Structure 1
């Protein structure tokens, strides 16, 4: 049945026109006149040409009148990201890096750089940009059936007056709280590499309206934003003061508790007081083979207090479920190395939009030494590292990542031992689509932070109830057949067939198998990520209902532990 449905999807009518980005290049050429240069190698770059299409173009299914409310990205903002300057010899590697720099900017949907014939026998760079709608009510959400677990609404201008600055007011709604806040980011202060950013929010109880806490961050520095700079630094700090309630589905997690009075339940609710600051200096070596070495100094104060009034229950929560309270001052060294071998691919996660992948190996790791002080008595050494290898051949993309970490304490058992691994494979296209496979494992031992993984619903095991399974360890597999999308007026709709298998556990693995169908919608005028809508059911389980529907932005394999990319 699955094979027949997949074949039928592949037979659906697909637009036979040039792809979306190629059509934009044709439009860009029409703005300046020069023809494409088929042999730019060895020629001098004479000039940089920039074409920025309105957010609502002729082929887009929205009224062009909306362009009145959108300030196009200024040419200067585009030019400062260009790595190839007039008077230099055409370098395809710097051209590709220019595209990567531009695609990383949130307010740009499409970035293409092509060579065109120069006026004096050389070559000109034509940079073609497609803006995303910048003044927007952006959103991030998690919906499982009728239960809206999380919703963030942000009225944000991500490209203020065309200069790339971000200004926002936002609200974040959870099952127990709502937050109101603001954000400002200037990533290129006065067109330099200087970065300035800050955010702050007030957190209120949804039931009573009482103020429960605040959170925010501030950052300033001159980070390394491409392959050229040799030095970079960042100073940042953040705080999070709030009451935290852990939910399973629509209710607070009730933990079974037994004492001499009998059996009862204890809600997993506690107060959080987190403050952290760090200053980091980075030296970057090489260009084709990159080595970034960083040194940092910082500290944190993390305090977690149960809200239950019973002293014994509070001590039990602290020992088994709450993160470790501690004050820490530390110094840290970290290194990251990789070959600057990048490939631009399409139809991976974002359909017709180009995606950048670093191929080959990547190694990173470091050590953190926490030294005792009167106000921060913690004393330990933490080590962590990760390795990734990404392989592309015959239109098959395979990535394997392994990460590990531990904390060494004088005279005590090694703590916070963690090992995680992920394999992601995108098959060559067949029947018009791709088979995408992801396998993920995450194991912990002697975890001082008592981190619990909640699996179910939109967290990777689609078709189960929200947060149905819990444990300190996890195994998860996702297999999807993603049919080739259909284009409707510069938007894309795709159908997905999926199979998930997984378990969250402490000691014994008990696998749950699910399957289902989903839809992916790409609206490049609004977002580079697809909108994911999935409906699944448990194989051998009860009949599915509306509560098995879940929706969010991004593909399912975007849900992964941050530990794989930042093991320390």
Structure 2
């Protein structure tokens, strides 16, 4: 009776041993790449440009991506075995640059050798930005010019003027992903506002691929600008924030693989910050300098799905369904400028799963600061996205999120309205330290390309949610309606505009609540992406 299991165990052990011995040999049998060919295309191909003078002019006035810009992002080289995981990650990294509307990597045989053919089609990166947003009782707009592929080297420069609900501003930006072909990243932006100014910057050698072993970044901000606090749709306080913040972080990856990594590192921050009553901005304010040091651990099991007709039209999108956990512990000693010594734990987590043409993604973020007196400040947020693409050109998306904040600086409250949260409500309609909102939207991407320029679709939606303070009852409103979707098919990214007719219900739409008093409103702006 015992002989059969023993013989089975022996056979299984022999099979396992054979598998372990032959696994390296099987991997070694992957064909070797003999050459890598990079082909870059303009926004409109030669046939389209020859038939349409306007397309030919459009190609002529912009920068075409140089082949070496593509080559430096490749995670494979001639002489290496073909690795499908590295090819897929290379495609994702190229799409993430925001330069291309299409990326394909294929193989072919040339004179008996294996050639990897990398082909990219540029998106329209020279943008004359004419943006507008309306929620019935409020209209905001911006105009600007931005080039994300200056000189064809993946450098960005731009300027924009915007008129928001609270201020006007000129914004100037510049960035270079790989300075002179090196791993160095430089980026910065400057906001010249009607009520202040703010500059931000980033310099470093960031992680760009799952297999990268080290990363180093230095970021900062400096400025003086007005901060408004709202309650029940009305401004209750006006302050000026004066800040200089310097932050440096470095990490190493003791473990890397084609499907994930483990990274650990240190982060240090020095900050000088003060909030002054707007009426007292001319008064001198003593410096308030503080510093923190943190240790972080980041684990990720990568999993991506490539889809179309989800956030945009026929263009491929990378859905990140990875399982990731990032833990950090911050130390804020009184010797570093704080009133009391404290410790701050931090958690970021995400996971997702795909079932055929449907998927679910869950995200959680939480951090806090504990001192000898207990919990000093904290924020918790969670989001859930469920989507289905059962029918061709159709996507149904349910997104829910909720959060709580406590003890944070002025202006850090939840602030829903005018494009964030329920789409048919004005700016600052719902503000507070608690927030819950969600949307259910069905999208039909009816036509992918009209006149080689745009896609056309329609959508039906239901939004509901709000924000409130701990000392008041929940305040929420919603809307339901239908809308038109227009997407620039030669641009990069989803880049879809929405024109929605919405019927409002709940709080904050009536005149008594400070709204326009109209239930039916026309709302337009950027389409929601999840």
Deviations 1:413-457 (A, max 9, x none): 302232221110111324852221011111234446574323334
SS of 1:44's partner is coil
In structure 1, what is the equivalent of residue 276 of structure 2?
305
Among 40, 43, 64, which residue is 2:31 paired with? 43
SS of 1:162's partner is coil
In structure 1, what is the equivalent of residue 143 of structure 2?
153
Which range moved further: 501-510 or 333-342?
501-510
CA change 1:378–1:303 in 2 (3 A) is: farther
List alignment gaps of at least 5 residues for structure 1: 1-40, 206-211, 256-267, 310-324, 559-568
Aligned equivalents of 1:69, 1:112: Cα separation in 2? 25
- Kindly report which structure 2 residues correspond to 1:11-410, keeping only aligned pairs within 5 A, or say none: 42-57=30-45, 58=47, 63-120=55-112, 122-138=113-129, 141-145=132-136, 147-149=138-140, 151-203=141-193, 205=194, 212-245=195-228, 253-255=234-236, 268-284=237-253, 285-287=255-257, 288-308=259-279, 327-373=289-335, 377=339, 379-410=341-372
Aligned equivalents of 1:56, 1:544: Cα separation in 2? 47
CA change 1:298–1:470 in 2 (3 A) is: closer
When normalised by structure 2's length, the TM-score is: 0.83
In structure 1, what is the equivalent of residue 5 of structure 2?
none
SS of 1:304's partner is strand
Aligned equivalents of 2:60, 2:359: Cα separation in 1? 42
In structure 2, what is the equivalent of residue 500 of structure 1?
463
Aligned equivalents of 1:461, 1:280: Cα separation in 2? 37
Aligned equivalents of 2:229, 2:223: Cα separation in 1? 16
In structure 1, what is the equivalent of residue 21 of structure 2?
none
SS of 1:63's partner is helix
SS of 1:407's partner is strand
CA change 1:235–1:535 in 2 (3 A) is: same
SS of 2:76's partner is coil
Which range moved further: 76-85 or 380-389?
380-389
CA change 1:141–1:245 in 2 (3 A) is: farther
Query: Are the equivalent residues in 2 in contact too, given 1:386–1:403 (CA < 8 A)?
Result: yes
Aligned equivalents of 2:485, 2:429: Cα separation in 1? 25
Higher relative contact order (CA 8 A, sep 6+): 1
SS of 2:425's partner is coil
* Offset, 1:482: 0.9
CA change 1:170–1:513 in 2 (3 A) is: closer
Bigger strand fraction: 2
SS of 2:445's partner is coil
CA change 1:177–1:434 in 2 (3 A) is: closer
Deviations 1:133-171 (A, max 9, x none): 23322356543236333x443322211211111222333
* Offset, 1:374: 7.2
Matched, 1:509 2:474: yes
SS of 1:484's partner is strand
List alignment gaps of at least 5 residues for structure 2: 1-28, 281-286, 511-515
CA change 1:240–1:485 in 2 (3 A) is: farther
Aligned equivalents of 2:270, 2:37: Cα separation in 1? 47
Matched, 1:534 2:507: no
CA change 1:360–1:215 in 2 (3 A) is: closer
CA change 1:479–1:115 in 2 (3 A) is: same
Query: Are the equivalent residues in 1 in contact too, given 2:505–2:519 (CA < 8 A)?
Result: no
Aligned equivalents of 2:426, 2:336: Cα separation in 1? 47
Aligned equivalents of 1:136, 1:280: Cα separation in 2? 33
Query: Are the equivalent residues in 2 in contact too, given 1:415–1:448 (CA < 8 A)?
Result: no
Deviations 1:334-379 (A, max 9, x none): 2221113322122221221111133342111211112234766563
Deviations 1:199-234 (A, max 9, x none): 33332x3xxxxxx43211232211111122211111
Query: Are the equivalent residues in 2 in contact too, given 1:46–1:118 (CA < 8 A)?
Result: no
Matched, 1:548 2:517: no
When normalised by structure 1's length, the TM-score is: 0.78
Aligned equivalents of 1:526, 1:450: Cα separation in 2? 34
Query: Are the equivalent residues in 2 in contact too, given 1:465–1:547 (CA < 8 A)?
Result: no
Deviations 1:378-398 (A, max 9, x none): 632211102211100121111
In structure 2, what is the equivalent of residue 9 of structure 1?
none
CA RMSD of aligned residues (A): 2.9
Aligned equivalents of 1:163, 1:390: Cα separation in 2? 35
